Amino acid sequence: MKFLTSSLRFPGFLFASILTSVSVAQEHTPLQVSNQNPLVKIFALPVAESAKILEPTQESTHISVDWASNFTSEFNSNEFVFVDGESAQVNIRWRYGFDLWEFGLDLNFSRYSGGSLDNFIENWHSWFGLPNGGRELADRNQLRYEYIRDGMQQLDIMEKHSGFGDTRLTGAYQLNNTGRFDLAIRGGIKIPTGDSNKLLGSEGMDINLGFMLGDEVTFQQQRASYFFGAGAIWTEDGEILPAYRENTVLYFHGGLIKSLAERWQLKLQLDGHTAFYDSALRPLSDALQLSIGGAYRLSNDLQLDFAIVEDVVTDSSSDVSFHLNLYNLF
């Protein structure tokens, strides 16, 4: 895919670091997945990160790809929303440790299109006796994002597009890394560098602050650990449905990681958040998604994460998304 090639060429310095590094990666790290609903991913919804921040002068990189299919159609007496299409996003995350602090930079490149997953998803639903939610009645592989409120069209996107999204600066502070729990404060500022007309950004600045807690001691004999995190995001109205925005949003992560063999791990994770919009429709309301995946240790310093992500609260996030993440510590 052309957008992947160009995006991975852009962070060449990161890939060079991956290939030449010799450190040992952190043992258990959460899946760095987030809600791929196109009306949500434009905001600074943070992914789950480790409760143990990097040691001084350590650096890490995450280069991930999220391929998602969205379809939902819902209405009430004064609202109508229709979301049909696919998105693919490349995320590049860099982190650097300094004493008890950690700083970072997040970049992303997205492509929206009609895609090619409709037939696969309909067959998947048929195999497991799951409803298609009207997907089979819509045009195959189309791109259409539409929102109407009080008889006025508020959003209408039907042409495929791609580009770089908003940029995010991150920071973290280690509160505790001795004893049973690791505890860190994590936050970030999103700078509106993406084009809101193409759903590549919100045209508003977002700030988030929260905590991450990890426990690798309690189930150490079972070679398992768990983590939990929560926080809040404060967002500007921006240019996407500004009249209906919820400017304070709460989020959380929780999960279990178990080592199955020397190189393999199983990862189960829940991610959720409150609504970014003042709406009674599910695609614009609270969201909860489940990720089932794992990790394979390619070398001492290089790890590949993978997951399938499903919406637990129907229509609140993507029908399905596929996640791959190359993680390196050096």
Task: Tell me if 319 sits within 8 A of 134, measured CB to CB.
Answer: no
- The mean per-residue pLDDT over the stretch 105-130 comes to 75
pLDDT band at 253 (very low <50, low <70, confident <90, very high): very high
Total structural domains within the chain: 1
Q: In Å, how far from its chain's centre is CA 302?
A: 21
Check whether 7 has a pLDDT greater than 60: no
Task: Please tell me the distance from the alpha carbon of residue 40 to that of residue 316, in angstroms, as a whole number.
Answer: 10
Least confident of 15-29, 93-107, 164-178, 253-267: 15-29
Give 77 or 134, the one with higher predicted confidence.
77
Check whether 170 has a pLDDT greater than 90: yes
pLDDT in tens, 119-148: 666 666 566 555 555 555 556 678 999 999
305 membership: H or E segment, kind and range: strand 302-311
At 204, the amino acid letter reads: G
- The mean per-residue pLDDT over the stretch 219-240 comes to 95
Residue 17: its pLDDT value, please? 41
pLDDT in tens, 155-168: 999 989 999 999 99
| Percent of the chain whose predicted confidence (pLDDT) is above 70 | 84
Task: Please tell me the distance from the alpha carbon of residue 12 to that of residue 8, in angstroms, as a whole number.
Answer: 7
- The mean per-residue pLDDT over the stretch 223-246 comes to 96
Check whether 270 has a pLDDT greater than 50: yes
CATH of the domain at 198: 2.40.160.40
- The mean per-residue pLDDT over the stretch 231-241 comes to 96
Query: Which domain range does residue 311 map to?
Result: 2-329
Instruction: Look at phi and psi of residue 125 and say left if phi exceeds 0, alpha if psi is from -120 to 50, else beta.
Output: alpha
- The mean per-residue pLDDT over the stretch 218-234 comes to 96
Instruction: Look at phi and psi of residue 32 and say left if phi exceeds 0, alpha if psi is from -120 to 50, else beta.
Output: beta
Task: Spell out the residues 6+ positions from residue 182 whose beta carbon is closer than 8 angstroms to its own.
Answer: 50, 51, 52, 174, 176, 212, 213, 214, 215, 216
Q: How much is the pTM? A: 0.86
Task: Tell me if 167 sits within 8 A of 190, measured CB to CB.
Answer: yes
156 membership: H or E segment, kind and range: strand 152-157
Residue 121: its pLDDT value, please? 66
Residue 27: its pLDDT value, please? 73
pLDDT in tens, 277-301: 999 999 999 999 999 999 999 998 8
- The mean per-residue pLDDT over the stretch 234-243 comes to 95
Check whether 12 has a pLDDT greater than 50: no
Residue 21: its pLDDT value, please? 38
